Chains A and B, each alone.
Chain A
Amino acid sequence: MEIFPVERIREDFPILKQHVYGKPLVYFDNGATTQKPVRVIETINRIHREQNASIHRSVNWMSDHMTQLYEDARKTIRAFIGAGKISEIIFTAGATASINAVAFSFGETFLEPGDEVLISTMEHHSNIVPWQLACERRGARLKVIPITDAGTIEMDAYRNLLGDKTRIVAVTHVSNTLGTINPVKEMIRLAHERDIPVLVDGAQAIQHTAVNMVDLDCDFYVFSGHKVYGPTGIGILYGKEQWLERLPPYQGGGDMIDRVTFEKTTFNELPFKFEAGTSNYIGAIGMAEAVAYISEIGMQAIHEYETGLRDYAAGLLSAFPGLSQYGTAPDKTAIFSFVLNNVHPFDTGMILDKFGIAVRTGTHCTMPLMNRFRIEGTVRASLCFYNTHQEIDRLMEGLQTVTDMLA
């Protein structure tokens, strides 16, 4: 196997040279947001300096050119996720905005009193609360798929929960807290046997593994630009055309209309029906640049390297005395949630911070999952392809100091 050129790749990310409290930064908070390669930074910078003009409305050359770049970005995303049609790629503000759009529009159209929305115990709040709100508006009920102690979906329970009243399943591809990779393809197949559509939250999957919408056969797939090495404030809602056609617009405004009179407005065709207002077109182009960058490295190469990091870190963490891990599924990404014996995660995080090691502590926007494990929170280290084995060693040294100071 070819050696993954991690040192060269690190050169592409200027921020990784930063020092924190005089120590070289170890950035293990990639689940929260990823850093940006210089290509993405330069693209955004260059457009602002040389090319900025509002898209989709002007007669001038700059605007036409900008529109072209924006629509090219859509094509890049379509190819990256293997979607069937360009009209199925909607630019949104991020994964949360995408889920809210579906929960609202789908809820208004298809949820009736007594209907059920099925989610899992390990969902991020962003894939819980929009459905809760939709259920409250429509008199529907939220049902929750239980998980095992290892942090995997209980598939038998899932099969039993799929019922005549289930209108939609909303499940995460990869758990942001546990790293579990859910068997979404099988879950989609089971739901489709009953003609139930499935939304997949891909916010923690898209940057780690190749996805293909046609192969997955999901009805909706969402993710955020800033978690896939792109800018903040941009994301994707993929939806099968047959669903997007049937859903009403979520927001009204410019660009999404066909014709407006005070009596009646007719809407623009897909994908513009769901892109009200001036789009974050520079964000979209920045995200496409990020996606092009990781595509050149290769998702398979990234996946293999990250799997190596995962196994190395998992081995060391498992052997660390007094450390409890949450999320021990065999099929998982390099996300590690753990608690040291009798040490509050916040204390662990504060001491690691002094070593220049950026982790996240707390509930990770998954409070119901914390309740499932009867814990208040965890320390989460989330790794990606620019991290190194040496950085994992530094985490372990940091944890040893935490133990010496506190345990």
Chain B
Amino acid sequence: MTIEAIQQEIIEEFAGLGEWMERYNYLIDLGKDLPAIDPAFRKDEYLIRGCQSRVWLNADLEGDRIVFTADSDAIITKGLAALIIRVFTNHTPAEILAANLDFIDKIGLKEHLSPTRSNGLVAMIRQIRYYAMAYKAKMKN
């Protein structure tokens, strides 16, 4: 499934949800369902500094695709992280770098991706792109 198709799928899932409480409950469920990250990666090296809620992110190259795992100590943030992981994981660095991430806006959670929110998600997406750039460079060599 392409990154675009996955985003579309998420948008459709959220279209069936009502006001904020249903959306948050859905995020909470996603957060609970996302397996805790391997404790080896729940360390400072993998920590994305978001000030208030902490997000850990790991990226492994499997073949030509990057597999992401993530975790957070705040459950709503973890649910959002789960969505972001679902969009990006198992894609090539080139696909990740070319992607236009617009689903967060379309599912009415835009405020969580504003740079002034100290939840670490903006930094997480930036870090995903850095991983993609780094692996892209590595694959060329």
User: Do chains A and B stick together as partners?
Assistant: yes
List residues of A whose CB falls within 8 A of some B CB. 21, 343-347, 350-351, 354, 361-362, 376-377, 401, 405-406
Instruction: Choose, from B6-14, B21-29, B129-137, the stretch at the interface.
Output: B21-29
Residues of chain B contacted by A346 (CB below 8 angstroms):
52-53, 74, 76-77, 119
Chain B interface size band reads: 10 to 19
| Total A-B residue contacts, Cβ distance less than 8 Å | 40
Q: Is B73 an interface residue (CB 8 A)?
A: yes
List 7 interface pairs A-B (beta carbons < 8 Å), by A numbering: A344-B74, A344-B77, A351-B76, A354-B21, A376-B73, A405-B21, A406-B75
A345 → B minimal CB distance (Å): 8
B residues neighboring A (CB under 8 Å)? 20-21, 24-25, 28, 51-54, 73-77, 118-119
A12 to B73, CA, bound (A): 41
B54: which A residues are within 8 A, CB to CB?
376
The distance from the CB of A9 to the nearest CB of chain B, in whole angstroms, is 31
Q: How far is the CA of A401 from the CA of B22 in the complex (A)?
A: 12
Contacts of B51 in A (CB 8 A): 362
Which of A343, A346, A354, A376 has most B Cβ within 10 Å? A346
By a CB distance below 8 angstroms, the chain B residues around A345 are 52
Contacts of B77 in A (CB 8 A): 344, 346-347
Report how far A343 CA is from B77 CA in the complex, Å: 12
Tell me the minimal C-beta distance from B114 to chain A in angstroms: 13
The answer on a CB contact under 8 Å between B75 and A361 is no
Least distance between B108 CB and chain A CB atoms (Å): 11
Give every chain B residue within 8 A of A406 (Cβ-Cβ). 28, 75
With A362-B51, A377-B52 given, is the CB distance from A344 to B73 under 8 Å? yes
Q: How far is the CB of B107 from chain A (nearest CB, A)?
A: 15
Contacts of B76 in A (CB 8 A): 346-347, 350-351
Q: Contacts A362-B118, A376-B73 known; A344 to B24 CB distance under 8 Å?
A: no
Q: How far is the CA of A21 from the CA of B73 in the complex (A)?
A: 26
* Pairwise interchain contact B75-A344, C-beta atoms closer than 8 A: yes
Please, which residue of chain B has its CB at the minimum distance from the CB of A350? B76
Identify which of A21, A343, A347 contacts B20 (C-beta below 8 A): A21
